[in-house]
């Protein structure tokens, strides 16, 4: 079975488009710099760079890639939540202009220090049903540059819009009612992706209650990468989850401040084979409901 999946990771994008939706596997969620270097000229390959601004991209980027405006992956909700999943028709319009279509093989990479926004873009594509044909470049642009691989400069536009019809997945985004009802449900673990000092309530972010949701585990999203910015070995990642009290077979619901750091944790949870969700409202929404409790051992 593993051999079959490994071969599937190398197939043209059209091979992934036969069925609607689904999710990636351990063999497809992340790709190496060598894989991308070997496939840069593949038909239907779309490589999206996620970074702070266009200027950063123009200074150096992977050949053939285009700069993705991060705001195209989310929107501000009517309730004032800053980073929410837009409707599918909006997402189809937003992504198709970068050349993404139903037959695309999509590779995402971060330019500098944008690991969690890249996770958010991955989650968005997963929610659109493109998860099986979308991958994150392990190590992002820093790894590509460290290995002295080919670089390009200047502005780049997608050659043509993609023909994209999303296949909405109902097992990616968790809403407030689901999280409230799942706090103490057997087999469901709520997982906080934030810094342990934020999780514990020692550090606080203005406008958001300090502490964490009742019963939530804590797996810090930055601990998923090693010192070189690459994904840690699978055994080390699994230990992070088990040390946090997460059991094999648990359904995970990740959250953070606004649904960005939690997206990186969601991506790795899917990579490890967990049935994962991401609470899109996260603490931004939870805090707007004073009747909902927050655990804070530091509160006096």
Residue 191, SS3 per DSSP: strand
Domain that holds residue 260: 173-286
- In this structure, the answer to whether residues 274 and 196 fall within a common structural domain is yes
- In this structure, the answer to whether residues 9 and 100 fall within a common structural domain is yes
Q: Is residue 168 part of a domain?
A: no
Asked whether the predicted pLDDT for residue 8 surpasses 50, the reply is no
Mean pLDDT along residues 111-116? 95
Asked whether the predicted pLDDT for residue 15 surpasses 80, the reply is no
pTM for the whole thing?
0.92
Q: Is residue 76 part of a domain?
A: yes
Please, which pLDDT band fits residue 298 given cuts at 50, 70 and 90? confident
- In this structure, the answer to whether residues 185 and 271 fall within a common structural domain is yes
Q: Is residue 181 part of a domain?
A: yes
Q: Is residue 299 part of a domain?
A: no
Asked whether the predicted pLDDT for residue 114 surpasses 80, the reply is yes
Q: Are 166 and 92 in contact (CB under 8 A)?
A: yes
Higher pLDDT, 157 or 169: 169
Mean pLDDT along residues 68-76? 96
Mean pLDDT of the chain: 92
Mean pLDDT along residues 31-60? 96
Please, which pLDDT band fits residue 97 given cuts at 50, 70 and 90? very high
Tens-digit pLDDT profile for residues 236-261: 999 999 999 999 999 999 999 999 99
Q: Is residue 97 part of a domain?
A: yes
- In this structure, the answer to whether residues 141 and 32 fall within a common structural domain is yes
Neighbours of 154 (CB within 10 A): 9
- In this structure, the answer to whether residues 200 and 105 fall within a common structural domain is no
Q: What is the pLDDT of residue 235?
A: 98
Per the structure, the count of domains in the chain is: 2
Q: Is residue 228 part of a domain?
A: yes
Nearest to 112 by CA among 46, 49, 37: 49
- In this structure, the answer to whether residues 31 and 70 fall within a common structural domain is yes
Tens-digit pLDDT profile for residues 121-138: 999 999 999 999 999 999
Q: What is the pLDDT of residue 9?
A: 39
Burial bucket for residue 4 (CB in 10 Å: 0-12, 13-18, 19+):
exposed
Mean pLDDT along residues 208-217? 94
Mean pLDDT along residues 148-165? 94
Q: What is the pLDDT of residue 13?
A: 37
Mean pLDDT along residues 158-172? 94
Q: What is the pLDDT of residue 157?
A: 87
For residue 62, the cross-strand partners are none
- In this structure, the answer to whether residues 118 and 217 fall within a common structural domain is no
User: What whole-number percentage of the chain has pLDDT above 70?
Assistant: 93
Q: Is residue 265 part of a domain?
A: yes
Which range (88-97, 106-115, 258-267, 290-299) has the least confidence? 290-299
Residue ending a domain, choose from 146, 181, 206: 146
- In this structure, the answer to whether residues 111 and 27 fall within a common structural domain is yes
Tens-digit pLDDT profile for residues 51-66: 999 999 999 999 999 9
- In this structure, the answer to whether residues 265 and 131 fall within a common structural domain is no
- In this structure, the answer to whether residues 201 and 73 fall within a common structural domain is no
Q: What is the pLDDT of residue 2?
A: 37
The β-bridge relationship of strands 66-68 and 45-50 is: parallel
Asked whether the predicted pLDDT for residue 17 surpasses 50, the reply is no
Mean pLDDT along residues 209-226? 96
Q: What is the CATH number of the domain that holds 224?
A: 3.40.250.10
Q: Give just the sign of the alpha carbon dihedral 34, 38, 44, 46.
A: positive
d(CA 137, CA 129): 19
- In this structure, the answer to whether residues 136 and 205 fall within a common structural domain is no
Q: Is residue 161 part of a domain?
A: no
- In this structure, the answer to whether residues 31 and 102 fall within a common structural domain is yes
């Amino acid at each position: 079975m593993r051999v079959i999946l490994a071969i599937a990771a190398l197939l043209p994008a059209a091979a992934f488009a036969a069925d609607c939706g689904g999710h990636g596997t351990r063999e497809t969620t992340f790709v190496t710099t060598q894989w991308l270097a070997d496939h840069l000229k593949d038909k239907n390959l779309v490589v999206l760079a996620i970074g702070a601004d266009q200027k950063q991209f123009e200074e150096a980027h992977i050949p053939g890639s285009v700069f993705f405006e991060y705001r195209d992956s989310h929107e501000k909700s009517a309730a004032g939540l800053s980073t929410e999943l837009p409707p599918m028709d909006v997402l189809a319009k937003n992504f198709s202009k970068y050349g993404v279509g139903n037959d695309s093989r999509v590779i995402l990479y971060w330019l500098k220090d944008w690991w969690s926004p890249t996770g958010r873009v991955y989650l968005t594509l997963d929610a659109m049903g493109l998860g099986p044909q979308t991958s994150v470049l392990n190590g992002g642009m820093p790894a590509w540059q460290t290995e002295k691989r080919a670089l390009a400069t200047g502005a780049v536009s997608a050659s043509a819009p993609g023909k994209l019809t999303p296949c909405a997945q109902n097992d990616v985004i968790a809403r407030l009612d689901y999280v409230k009802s799942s706090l103490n449900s057997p087999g469901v673990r709520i997982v906080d992706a934030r810094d342990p000092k934020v999780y514990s309530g020692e550090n606080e972010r203005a406008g958001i209650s300090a502490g964490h949701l009742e019963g939530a585990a804590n797996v810090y999203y930055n601990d998923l990468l090693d010192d070189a910015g690459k994904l840690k070995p699978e055994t080390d990642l699994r230990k992070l989850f088990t040390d946090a009290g997460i059991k094999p077979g648990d359904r995970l619901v990740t959250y953070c401040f606004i649904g960005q750091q939690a997206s990186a944790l969601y991506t790795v949870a899917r990579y490890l084979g967990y049935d994962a969700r991401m609470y899109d409202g996260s603490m931004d929404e939870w805090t707007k409901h004073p009747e909902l409790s927050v655990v804070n051992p530091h509160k006096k």
